[in-house]
Chains A and B, each alone.
Chain A
Amino acid sequence: MYIVKRDTGVCMYHKDFRESIFDPHLLSSFIVAMTTFFDEASGAVSSRARAFEGSDYKIIVEFGDWAMGALSVEADSAAVREKLRRLVASFEEQFNLLRWIDLDLAVYTRFEKTVINEFVSEKIQPDSVIHVKWDWEYYTKNADVISVLRLIPRICTVRDAADFLEMPVEIILNLMAEAYFEKAVTISQPIKPDDIYQATAIVGVADDVDGISPETAEALTQLDGETPLMIAAERVKTKDLKRFLEEIALLARRHAIELISPAQATLVLYSSALQEILDRSGNLIGIHLARSAFHGSRKSLMKQNPWLAFVDLEDNVDVEIKTSLTTAAVRGTIAPETLDQGFLQLLSSIMEQTRRFVGPKPSRAIVTKSKDELEKQFPSRTYQIEWEKLLR
């Protein structure tokens, strides 16, 4: 991640989250030169460059008033761009003086917290697994981090570490974020039963399924980017869920399967919730009224959320997500927060209309039963939906 002064091309701040790929000063000069060149060539008043892409790297850029942010990513997405924009804005605000004069403002120390908040904190959850590097002592100088890393096992979850040290989880989360920032540890996420994976290749490639139980190999056909692991496990009648999840982790390491994007996961969660709600509404008020409740709600929300045009109904009340929206979610060009907000408004409006026909108590029953049903499919993610907003 690089923050560059736009008019001089000087790199004011940079941070490598993995191994160093580019020389920061070389890269900052290059980006400024390229954006200036294209702006001049196209006669643009405001810079239009969005990304620089190579065969194995992609650098996205976002512009502030006098600084610009560049971030090397695996895939471009609206969410990452939003983070980068926020980071550039807070840098400009915090170090406004650098716009006019070059001073040593201890940028690296003072900006560290903001970067951790934007890019690191979300990666570390109580269930995240910490892998302490064998040579961690060379990476960190933070005394608190050092004392914690000395005591905890080489591989453990954040919660286990907190229990082991008898410390609050929040403190360990902050210290591990520092340790990750300083590259003293790596973090991996445990596989949860309601995670959604998709097979990356034609299923059953011999090398990929080597050493995998036949049940899990069969489950590969179920990993279509829409089915949670638990449902896939149920469909192939897995007896041992723990082993199944371990094998899924192995397949993920072999890149035979991959976790879907957060936006796609949100889309799947909400489309399942919408289906549950519409099915139950349709049972009570009839399909004709349930369909008009959906269409009426969608129409009223279309101005704020034009993407809702790609959420439709097939026969009866079968929810259909059009390919355009699925593709946007897969590519991350629509942020999970946008989907979250729009779908919540849609569900709330549908429930509002259903309530007028059936009254408050049955409509609460619809919401509660839908939530219970969804919890079976997505045990840990159901509460991403603010169900209480649908209850009244």
Chain B
Amino acid sequence: MEKEDPPKNMELGTWIPFVALILLLLGAFGIPWIVGNTSALDSMAAATAPLVAGLVGVYGLTHFAPRGLVREDRFHVMFIFLSVGLFVMLLAELAGIAIESSGVGASLVFTVGFVQILGMISFSIGVGGYFNAVNKTVGYSRPQITWSVVVAFPLAFVVILVALSYDPLQSVSFAELVTSGIVSIGFGVTALCVSIIAVVFRRGRLLMPAIFILLGLLLLFARGVVWAVYAVTPVLTSSRILGAAAYAMIGGAITAARVNES
């Protein structure tokens, strides 16, 4: 009577693209780091971050887009928005490369944050819609209360952190502070939503994709926070490595969702 679990080899086969992606990242960042070639690491990070965002975006859309944008299916819609968000993040990475190579300098780096805000909005719409559906269906608390808590915590966290560490002499401009603040609050809110989803599904197979999305969003949140607090702009290598790892985690979530469906 119970649906059979998919054969193990089929399940493992579905993980191959994700494993390949992780190996690509390890190779791209690990080898230059081990040999101590920082310029190679910089170039690898600049090339890999947009590449991973694009690849995972395509991977997500090829799997989820053919079924159409079914309005009632929030689970499906979430993955489409995550994939679209990755394309926007790809544009943000390319904008960073353009600013860096044109020599305009740090004064325009906040524009990268603008594009990231669009990506963050796409992520938030997808995750928020699904979070709302879960909250309505499972309904452990009233939606207004849940949303207030989910928004209040990251907002307070980022504002307090920025206020405590604000140094007028540091290189973060006001425009950068605002954009990076919005980006980190947005990703923080979205990550908190996913963490609640993960707690709800803690004993089910949906936990796996939720954990991957959570890891990805936490990395993007951390990327925003270190920009706002420590002036680690998105054009720096460490920030790009964080970004590439985050996009790979979203890829992991898409793969886990595919495994569930196989």
Contact = CB atoms under 8 A, between A and B. Distances in A.
Interface of A: 280, 282-289, 292-293, 296-297, 300-301, 316, 345, 349, 352-353, 355-362, 365-366, 369
A280 B137 contact: yes
A369 B139 contact: yes
Contacts of B67: 288
Contacts of A293: 3
Contacts of A288: 67, 73, 76, 261
A134 B1 CA distance: 58
A356 B259 CA distance: 13
A280 B72 CA distance: 11
A356 B74 CA distance: 19
Nearest to B3: A296
Contacts of B74: 283, 286
Contacts of B260: 289, 357
A287 B76 contact: yes
Contact of A361 (B2, B75, B76, B203): B203
A366 B138 CA distance: 7
B206 A285 contact: yes
11 contacts: A284-B133, A284-B206, A288-B67, A288-B261, A316-B72, A316-B73, A349-B2, A353-B2, A359-B200, A359-B207, A365-B140
A352 to B, nearest CB: 6
A297 B1 contact: yes
Given A285-B75, A288-B76, A353-B3, A359 B137 contact: no
A329 B75 CA distance: 36
- Which 9 A-B pairs have CB atoms at the shortest separation, nearest pair first? A286-B75, A359-B203, A359-B204, A287-B73, A358-B204, A296-B3, A283-B137, A283-B133, A365-B138
B204 A283 contact: no
A349 B1 contact: yes
A201 to B, nearest CB: 38
Interface in B1-53: 1-3
B259 to A, nearest CB: 12
Contacts of B73: 282, 286-288, 316
A288 B204 CA distance: 17
B139 A365 contact: yes
Given A283-B133, A288-B67, A300 B204 contact: no
Contact of A360 (B1, B70, B203, B261): B203
A353 B261 CA distance: 12
Contacts of A360: 203
A358 B76 contact: no
A369 B137 contact: yes
B201 interface: yes
Nearest to B75: A286
Given A296-B3, A357-B260, A362-B138, 14 more contacts: A283-B136, A284-B133, A284-B138, A288-B67, A288-B261, A297-B1, A316-B70, A345-B1, A353-B3, A356-B3, A357-B206, A359-B203, A362-B137, A362-B201
B261 A365 contact: no
Nearest to A349: B1
Given A282-B73, A287-B73, A365-B138, A359 B3 contact: no
Contacts of A280: 137
A222 B205 CA distance: 43
Interface string B224-262: 000000000000000000000000000000000000110
B134 interface: yes
Contacts of A355: 204
